[in-house]
Amino acid sequence: MQYFKMLLISLLAIFIISLVTIENNFASADDDFEEKYENHWEKHDHGDEAYEDIGEMVGWGTIIAMGAAAIIFPIRKSAKQILKNYPASKKFYIPFSKFFGKNHLLIGTIALALSMLHGVFMYLSEGALESEGVIGLGAFILMVLAAIFGTVLYKNKKVKSLRTTHIVLMAFAFLIGIVHIITS
């Protein structure tokens, strides 16, 4: 468990460092600093590119957080088989399962917040809501609905239909998110 925490902390550190150090590099052709090497005939506002870079990185952070929150489902479904067939894995598997079970709500909230930030940064970079933005907005709305059902589920754990609804909504949000990534 200690190694897993160290891995998560190092991934978070890499994410934060890359977020802080994003910089656009421009090459000038023929020492003419008025024209950019690529697309020199177009005038760009390069501040928008920074929003786009940050938005894309936050979007990938959303995917990672969604995967980390969703991993609790296969862990719990396969627990009996794995512990029965591989009893030596009990020392690793049970703390791993408890960690994700305990932090599922936090990780899901982080995924929702990152998704919102991703949408805001991409809107700022594009200046308009385009078709892939509408698809992403659909995925975000499904995530919000799943979060509402998840919050109700947190208080009423015995209601199985809430869990099913929560999982189905997140599965659809994930599929629409994949379509969003493909169309972007």
Helix (H, G, I), strand (E, B) or coil at 36: strand
- pLDDT (0 to 100) of residue 44: 53
Which pLDDT score, from 0 to 100, does residue 51 have?
85
Residue 52's pLDDT is 87
User: How many Cβ atoms from other residues are within 10 Å of residue 182's Cβ?
Assistant: 9
Cα distances from 40 to residues 25, 27, 51, 115, 131, in angstroms, run 14, 11, 21, 34, 28
List, run by run, the mean pLDDT of 10-residue segments along the chain (184 residues). Answer: 69 68 54 53 61 90 92 89 88 89 91 93 87 91 93 86 91 92 88
How many residues does the structure list for the chain? 184
Q: What is the pTM of this model?
A: 0.70
Task: Pick the closest to residue 174 from 11, 65, 100, 57 (CA basis).
Answer: 65
Record the tokens describing residue 157, joined without a space.
């754990």
Per-residue pLDDT tens digits for 117-170 = 999 999 988 888 888 889 999 999 999 999 999 989 888 888 888 889 999 999
Stated as kind and residue range, the H or E segment containing 34 is none
Q: Which residues pair with 28 in a beta bridge?
A: 36
